[in-house]
Chain A
Amino acid sequence: MKESLIDPLVSVITPVFNPDPAHLAACLESVELQTAHNVEHIIVNDGSTRDGVAELLRRAADRSSNIVLHRPEQGGIVAASNDGLAAATGKFVAFLDHDDVLRSDAIATMLAAANDGVDVVYSDHDFLDASGQHIGPCLKPQWSPERLRNQNYITHFVMARRSLVVDLGGFRSGFDGAQDHDLMLRLGETARQIAHVPEVLYHWRQAPTSVAAGVDAKPWAFDAGQRAVAEHCERIGLDATVNTTEHEGIYRVQNTLPSPPPQVSVLIPTRGSAGHIWGISRCFVVEAVRSIVERSTYSDLEFVVIIDDDTPPAVITTLQDLVGERLVLVEHHGEFNFSTKMNEGAAAASGDLLLFLNDDTELIEPDSIQVLVGLVTGPSEGASGPVGMAGSKLLFDDGTIQHGGHVYFHGPHHASTGWSGASPGPLPLRPLAVARECSGVTAAVAMMSAELFNEVGGFPEELPLNYNDVDLSLRIRAAGYRIIWTPHSLWYHFESRTRIGKVLPRETEYIEQRWAHELRNDPYYNPRLSPLWFDWLEWPLDEPTFAGHGATKPDTFAMAVRRSIKRNSS
């Protein structure tokens, strides 16, 4: 095969071990039918003994664009893939399993995304059942290193510069079953740029022994994945422990706190309102503070409470009794303005880290503050940048989800509102069970460093009631930082109990004018997902992707249910 600058050679590597011959034939044919001209298919027979396989490989070897290698005995997917890598001559290498199928324009589409600075490209994929029926797609976000640590959300289809893969030593032995996760983690550490093609270019067959079929099929794969993530953490200087979770393929990376742990200033704007939760009356700010004092495992806390003029003195006395000298009272005069109050609180805070906390919250998981501190004090990750802000999973008083991260897709929204708090979220990526990058988080419970808060100019005082956290999130990201939402920091948020929720028209106008592009193009929410749902619901393939298209307007029914759930839960 000749290398060309315009049409670079791509080597597709397929290790083969005893596949169903019909599936192997479909796999081989899908490479033959590629619209890209400059493709070599390196097929590594890893000691297959199944009838029909040898014959298929013999016929495949007749094609000039195929290179068929034979290993004398089975060495496993890592050894076979590395043999294929050694024989590859392309500028890029791509990996295709022996029973999977590529879309005919897969390689051409990936090449189109692989411009000069891009070292790795990955696409969306879907699943095939054993009979070849398409089951459903896996629609992925753009490059998300935090998420990759917690879950191999990429899997297939990956194409990378061969020189980079070779420099990294190819696949590593000892990681069979999670060799692709391990390689992707290492590529992520060194690649200049990683691009995502939001198109289903790869069809992953769900054979009974495939990882696609679930954890029981290959339990060792997830053990190997856990080790791969732990080693990755060491390499990037992230002091953390890695554990598996109850959800298959999802890990929990617990960052170790810096020593000594930084002081956290908890900023709580309040006017001392009371209301009924679970049948009894409570003063919200008192119970929010009490829940932290009684349950939190994090001790170096300062409570900066920003009070309005009409805050009852009894509330202040109770707060003083609860936290003593750790209480800093800041008086806010004039009309309610969340942003102004938070900025006044931040100016009076002495902690290195700021925890924004609405007064109508209650801590659930004792290590919630610790989890957020671990995230915002983690190391920077090359081109991806450091974590600027971290947000929590928030539940309504009935345990359903109030906040699962922001989604900026046809406007700013909370993800998966109304789902059960125990739900890991929709298949296949289970976004509610995994710590991940997102475009923004609510300031009802969020943490960032005081330094960065000042660098980006604090909360926008033009937005007194709404979208101030959206604006802050987008400014943090524009400054080159990432925002992480984590399900491992868990709180109740009795939303809109302390003030009437209303959106001022000038607020909508402000946010729309300032962030028009960002509010329609969420890098962490696939463009092929349905507009106006925010539940990772797939928009039918080949349909135009704009809101309200066609006869089945997607918002009406879901919105009615969502409104009804919200009404009932408050």
Chain B
Amino acid sequence: MPEVDQTEVVHDVEALIAENKRLRRLVGPLEQSYDDLRTELVGASEAVKIAEQANGELRGEVMELTVALGQARHNIGKVHRIVIQRARHMVGRVVRRVQRRLATFER
């Protein structure tokens, strides 16, 4: 059997006692508090999850509105192009008519 270094054992025991004290300070006077803390942590996480999901619902709505807005922008762009196209045709017709008139006068 190898010899056990008593000094090391004492140190280990002292370290464990110190850790125990530290944990007891965190837990409080009752060990039941530790379980309570764990339950509280799970509850808090659940609350975070619910809040995140509520956020997500709103983000989802923003996304859907963004898509609807994108559709509206597409459609407005299309209307603009139609309007510009028609305006160009109209202006072109007027210009051609004026040009024809001018040509008649010149003759």
The residues of A with any CB-CB pair to B shorter than 8 Å are 278-280, 396-401, 418-423, 426, 530, 533, 535, 537-540, 542-543, 550-552, 554, 557-558, 561-562, 565, 568-569
Contacts and interface: CB of A to CB of B under 8 A. Distances in A.
A398 B45 contact: no
B78 A540 contact: yes
Interface in B39-61: 41, 44-46, 48-49, 52-53, 55-57, 59-61
Interface of B: 41, 44-46, 48-49, 52-53, 55-57, 59-64, 66-67, 69-71, 73-78, 80-81
B70 to A, nearest CB: 5
Q: Is the interface of B mostly helix, strand, loop or mixed?
A: helix
A461 to B, nearest CB: 35
Given A419-B64, A533-B67, A537-B74, A278 B59 contact: no
A470 B49 CA distance: 31
Contacts of B52: 278, 397-399, 569
A569 B56 contact: yes
Nearest to B76: A552
B64 A279 contact: no
B69 to A, nearest CB: 7
Contacts, number: 101
A398 B53 contact: yes
Given A398-B53, A554-B70, A565 B45 contact: no
A422 B81 CA distance: 37
A419 B74 contact: no
Given A398-B52, A530-B70, A557-B73, 13 more contacts: A279-B45, A399-B56, A426-B67, A530-B74, A535-B67, A535-B70, A540-B74, A551-B80, A552-B73, A557-B66, A558-B70, A561-B63, A565-B62
Contact of B63 (A278, A397, A400, A552): A400
A533 B48 contact: no
B69 A419 contact: no
A400 B67 contact: no
B66 A421 contact: no
A557 B70 contact: yes
Given A278-B48, A419-B64, A420-B64, A398 B74 contact: no
A218 to B, nearest CB: 28
A419 B73 contact: no
A337 B89 CA distance: 60
8 contacts: A399-B52, A421-B56, A537-B71, A543-B78, A550-B81, A554-B73, A557-B70, A561-B62
B53 A419 contact: no
A210 to B, nearest CB: 24
Nearest to B66: A561
Nearest to A565: B59
Nearest to B74: A540
Contacts of B48: 278-279
Contact of A552 (B41, B60, B66, B77): B77
User: 9 closest pairs, A vs B, by CB?
Assistant: A420-B60, A398-B56, A552-B77, A399-B56, A540-B78, A279-B48, A418-B63, A278-B49, A399-B53
A280 B41 contact: yes
Contact of B57 (A278, A420, A530, A550): A420
B56 A540 contact: no
Contact of A278 (B45, B69, B74): B45
A543 B77 CA distance: 10
A396 B56 contact: yes
B60 A423 contact: yes
A565 B64 CA distance: 12
A401 B59 CA distance: 10
A421 B64 CA distance: 12
